[in-house]
Amino acid sequence: MGDIYYLGVPSGNGSRGSLVFPDAGKSFHAGSGSTSAYRAPDGTYDIGKREWGEQDVSLGKAKYKYRITGVTKNGTKAAPGHAWDPNKGKHGEMRSKLLIHPDGGKAPGTSGCIGVRGTPTAWGNANPADNSADVAAAQEVDQLLGSGKYDRVIVKTFKNVEEMEAFQKQIAPDAPMKRPDEKKPDPPPAPPKKKGSGGKGKPSKTNKSAELLQGERTVFAGSNKLQVAYAGPDCTHTGGGCVVEGSKTVFVGEKKYPMARVQDATNDGHKIATGENTVETA
């Protein structure tokens, strides 16, 4: 007979994590409790026999369940499905109806049982309309528990996901990691702001040595093909202000902003001091 593990990290009064079968090299998304309902307390539980022996698992109805039995406050074996919880109430409470079963219904969460899922547990989110992944996971766990190879589940709660995963690597190096929330890829880095132009020339500066960061990206001037500055909120400089003065006769870009010139002002007291000397406009 062997042990399995429910490894979780706190989330509200519950926990989210994974149900791990070390010898089989398998793990499954799982949760215990919810935002308000207390999770199963840490400890070692005996796993009872399968009840409600239907093979077709329909989430929202626990069509199979395995009672898990812990110990009393004094350390003696508790009644089936019971365990002492030192964390609930002011002085601890005896928990009852503790089970392993499919987690389903309208939203993730249990009353303290270990709920098996095929997708990460996320309190408050509705379960997906397509529950095929959850059904498949619940059926596979049922087959493993029904094999008679496992008689205990060890419940452990960790401070964070990193500690949980480090422990799982020790006990089940071949089992895939099932994060409580799927790790989202980092967003791509923002492209650096272009200073002055698409060419090789130097960006224009103000009389206070601030550089213009961006010009009109569709209009270029001079042999270096510099982007032209314009009077608009996106034509900013390194001091934080933007150009607010420009030509009354020449307009650039799709939005037809006035093209800016040397001596045109910004909204923070700067004036453009340098520019493309081959272009003149009124």
Tell me which CATH code domain 192-282 carries: 2.60.200.60
**pLDDT tens, 68-79?**
999 999 999 999
Between 223 and 170, the more confident residue is 170
Average pLDDT, the chain: 83
Measured CA to CA, the distance from residue 12 to residue 33 in angstroms comes to 9
Q: Are 65 and 47 in contact (CB under 8 A)?
A: no
Residue type (1 letter), 148: G
* Helices of type H across the chain: 132-146, 161-171
For the chain, the structural domain boundaries read 2-171, 192-282
pLDDT of residue 57: 45
Q: Determine how many CB atoms are found less than 10 A away from the CB of residue 106.
A: 8
Enter the DSSP assignment of 203: P
* Of 65-69, 88-92, 196-200, 228-232, minimum mean pLDDT range: 196-200
pLDDT of residue 120: 77
Measured CA to CA, the distance from residue 17 to residue 177 in angstroms comes to 10
Distances (CA, A) of 171 to 21, 117, 159, 175: 9, 21, 18, 9
Predicted confidence band of residue 194 (pLDDT cuts 50, 70, 90): very low
Measured CA to CA, the distance from residue 160 to residue 13 in angstroms comes to 15
Measured CA to CA, the distance from residue 122 to residue 279 in angstroms comes to 60
Q: Determine how many CB atoms are found less than 10 A away from the CB of residue 1.
A: 8
**pLDDT tens, 1-32?**
799 999 999 988 999 999 999 999 999 999 99
